[in-house]
Structure 1
Amino acid sequence: MKRSKRLRPVQHLAERRRKEAEQQLGAAQQQLLAEQQKLVQLEQYLADYQQSLLQTGRDGVAIDQLQRLQSFKHRLLDALAQQRRQIEFCRQLLDRAKQTWHQASGRERAMESLIDRAAQQEARDEEKLLQKQIDELAQSRRSRPRVDG
């Protein structure tokens, strides 16, 4: 079996790994986008809550109620900090997914190149073999005595 044919399964494996890495990359991008959208929603909710808190403070409120409102605001701030950490984690996952995809894509291209070079070498070898056979045939015809008759 020719080398280029023997390498095909390896090339298919490289292609499959690249496609898997591509899917992981897409999933990581979507996850980051979703987490960023959650952050925007939390920030908007906090802004609305702070506006409401200011209005409640202007209208007058009992100390215990104000403490509960402030406590909830702090929980919102903690949730924002946690969401920012989640986004950073997703960015790291995305960076790793990009790196994995680049590596898999590079391996696939390298395998394709190797197969192309092997096929080209095989074609050259076949051409040489054919030329050798033609030369031998021509030589054998020249070396036979002619019979005119």
Structure 2
Amino acid sequence: MANIKQLEMIVKLREEAETKAAQLMEQAHQAFADQEQQLNTLRRYRNDYLQKLTQQGGEGLSGQSFTQYQQFVMRLDEALGRAEQSTNIARQVYQQRRQGWLDARAEKRAIEVLIEREQAQQVALQNRREQHQLDEFASRSFIRRSSH
């Protein structure tokens, strides 16, 4: 019985660890979603800007305007590269935190299974004791009846 109490205490600690891991995972997921949204916004902005450049180019652009457009597109491409890198890092952090949560959940479940097995063993032991007592009682009753 003491073993179960100890395991139950460990389960409680594992539940707290699982909850903390779930919170960290959710924060990482939100950060990843934010990064991904920012990346997509930047991609749309770049595409819109290139469409505008194409439209302006069809109407005629001065060399200086074209150079300015080109330089701005290069800066957008650099920003996109940084945003993609940040998004990839955020994705990796999320995946690590998710794995941490899955590991914490598995640890808690393993201990819960140990508790269930221990409880089942205790019930089986109690049943054997009761059966032994019943058998002993029946034997004594039989002996008493036989001797009379």
| TM-score range normalised by the length of the shorter chain | 0.7 to 0.9
Unaligned runs of 5+ in 2: none
Paired residue total: 146
How far residue 140 of structure 1 moved from its aligned partner, in angstroms, is 6.1
Unaligned runs of 5+ in 1: none
User: 2: CA distance between counterparts of 1:143 and 1:47?
Assistant: 98
Q: Is residue 2:89 matched to residue 1:99? A: no
Q: Which residue of 1 aligns with 2:61?
A: 60
Show CA shifts across 1:42-69 (max 9, x none).
1111112122233444443352x44333
| Matched residue type, 2:108 | E
Show CA shifts across 1:11-46 (max 9, x none).
111222222222222222222222121111111111
Q: Is residue 2:126 matched to residue 1:126? A: yes
How far residue 110 of structure 1 moved from its aligned partner, in angstroms, is 0.7
| Matched residue type, 2:84 | R
User: 1: CA distance between counterparts of 2:71 and 2:131?
Assistant: 89
Q: Mean Cα displacement is larger for which, 53-62 or 68-77?
A: 53-62
How far residue 95 of structure 1 moved from its aligned partner, in angstroms, is 1.8
Identity %: 30
Q: How does 1:32-51 map to 2 (within 5 A)?
A: 32-51=32-51
- More helix per residue: 2
How far residue 97 of structure 1 moved from its aligned partner, in angstroms, is 1.8
Q: Which residue of 2 aligns with 1:76?
A: 76
RMSD: 2.7
**TM-score normalised according to structure 2 size:** 0.80
